[in-house]
Structure 1
Amino acid sequence: MAGKARKINHRKIARERIEVLFRQAAAFHPENPAWSNRCVELARKIGMRHRVRIDRRFKRQFCRRCNAFLVPGENMRVRIHRGRVIVTCLLCGHRARYPVVRSQHG
């Protein structure tokens, strides 16, 4: 039974480390984008090793093809077309499409 508890604890620690790495990536980006890309790469490796999903808010902050930390206007283009948000990585050209979520307020 100790093995299962240990695995759950490892996953919790992995989620915390992923969150810290994305915070660091955001802080590093203005001065050194290569460091922020490395933070994203490490966060993805931690997630894969411990089989932890990366939260949606973090998943949309990096390019799935080149692992670049995306910042709108610098290395990322955002467009809305036919009910979808189209995010284009300006480094590798990869496009990610997400449905537009309408607000419930009317």
Structure 2
Amino acid sequence: MRKKQKGWAKDMAQQRIIRLFELADHEFKAHPERSNRYVQLARRIAMRYRVRIPQELKQKVCKHCHAYLVQGVTARTRLQDTHITTTCLVCGEQMRRPY
């Protein structure tokens, strides 16, 4: 009985995280601070239920200040020789990923 409840809670948490990122994307133009709040809530849910945020969504969050990143507005991406560098325009920190 307990294992089913835990699996159900994790599935629900995963769905809520995905929905919060959808809301953050939808609300960014009108209310960028609300998008940051949605990301903060998604991170809190992920930590509480020990669920991973999907990689494609995790790349939309600054690893330093946890701001929601939108290319050209709050983030700048450059290609280097061996990696991709994303600069957060909110805090100025750089995040690097291999090709």
The CA distance in 1 between the partners of 2:53 and 2:16, in whole Å, is 11
Show the 5 A alignment for 1:1-106. Answer: 2-100=1-99
Question: What is the Cα deviation at residue 82 of structure 1?
Answer: 1.4
Q: Secondary structure at the match of 2:29?
A: coil
Give the TM-score taking structure 1 as reference length.
Answer: 0.91
Q: Secondary structure at the match of 1:40?
A: helix
Which string of whole-angstrom CA distances, capped at 9 and with x for unpartnered residues, describes residues 80-105 of structure 1?
A: 101211001011112111111xxxxx
In terms of Rg, which structure is larger? 1
Aligned residue pairs, count: 99
Which string of whole-angstrom CA distances, capped at 9 and with x for unpartnered residues, describes residues 24-78 of structure 1?
A: 0001100010000000000000000000000001000011211111000001010
Identity %: 39
- Structure 1: gaps spanning 5 or more residues: 101-106
Q: Which runs of 4+ in 1 moved over 6 A?
A: none
Give the TM-score taking structure 2 as reference length.
Answer: 0.97
- Structure 2: gaps spanning 5 or more residues: none
Question: What is the Cα deviation at residue 79 of structure 1?
Answer: 0.4
